[in-house]
Amino acid sequence: METMVERLIRYCKVNTRSDATSTAVPSTVSQVEFAKMLAKELEELGFSEVTHRLDNGFVVATVPSNLDKPVDTLGFIAHFDTADFNSENISPQIIENYDGQDILLNKNMDVVMQVEKFPNLRNYVGHTLITTDGTTLLGADDKAGIVEIIEAMLYFISHPEVKHGELRIAFGPDEEIGRGANLFDAKGFRAKYAYTLDGSVLGELEYESFNAASAKVTLHGVSVHPGTAKDKMVNTAKLAFEFDSMLPEDEVPEKTEGYQGFFLLSDMKTTIEEGHMNYIVRDHDKQKFLARKQMMLDNAKAMNEKYGANRVVVDMKDSYYNMAEVISKDFKPVELAKQAMENLGIQPIIKPIRGGTDGSKISFMGIPTPNLFTGAENFHGKYEFASKQIMEKAVDVIIEIVKLNAM
């Protein structure tokens, strides 16, 4: 049977990058093909009820209960799309018994993952690392999660003497563009509780996420010849600078951490006559989140009053909400994961996610869904890597959660 590392490398080599500009579900054809491949493999591996849902892009499957008593059905979820970074010709590299020194990812291009810049590497001395070749991302976010879920389920399939309740798995598209779980069939999934395997370092157990919104700011100016522009020209580049300066200077991603929220100007394009700015708005606290959105609307109103026209238009759309709002009402999945880690000698790291997972949306669909570590780090870029040893521990945690739930 294929090893865990072999499966990860094979999956990572497939370009499954999602596309925020696409309206298709999934957003890219490559994800559809990957899902078909996954469904076929799960059938061959002995999973039950394997289905590739064409309406939402998810692959779902079951490991039936072997208990003579009812227990809660547990679900395990991961996504197969990758982020907005080069995903063509991914060539993972294996580093055995990592020595704690800088890692030369690509000799020809002189791409080095330096310990000075990535001190987290010191945590992996002696580990087997799977890295990129310095030109692409790896895709362990979240194919490491997929592999770990499959590996854990195969343990139960091949060890029928180990008692467990019904186990459901789901692998889905488009998480990286924030809409993968929008069409998730929570009722049909049948799980009482679920876990996303979409975290990072050993011990991560996350049940708090941001409240998130996107804001599109459209700017309307007036273009005239600069020689006769006095009291006539309105330059949207200047409007953009002014609008952004009205937001708190220190409430940006590069200056915040923990529970601190932020505004992020992700991109901007202006001519004299027309401009567009795209923001993401984040905060763990619901009231602060609402206040942030209102601040943007108030700033636009103030500028329109100042310039006497509808120069600034803000269109806001909520993306997801803090899953703690749901999970705090039923802590059982968190308690199970925490106990599982402690049983295995792993120190749980319970902290808020400075982002979101599919679990952020699925929790509000009625399935409390905290997030677990995968053993991969430096997501979304050429310095991404995964540790074989921590991936194995993630598998162990899944197995222990299932065992505890069966007691």
Which amino acids are annotated catalytic?
A: 81, 175
User: What number of other Cβ atoms are within 10 A of residue 189's Cβ?
Assistant: 21
The two structure tokens encoding residue 322: 């803090």
Do 282 and 189 form a contact (C-beta atoms < 8 A)? no
If residue 320 lies in a helix (H) or strand (E), which one and from where to where? strand 312-320
Q: What are phi and psi of 211, to 5 degrees?
A: -85, 135
The two structure tokens encoding residue 36: 């078909």
- Classify residue 249 by burial, with Cβ atoms within 10 Å: 0-12, 13-18, 19+: exposed
User: How far apart are the C-alpha atoms of 14 and 30, rounded to whole Å?
Assistant: 8
Tell me the pairing of strands 129-131 and 93-95.
antiparallel
Do 149 and 78 form a contact (C-beta atoms < 8 A)? yes
Give the CA diameter of the chain: 86
User: What does each C-alpha distance from 261 to 343, 350, 378 come to in angstroms?
Assistant: 34, 18, 21
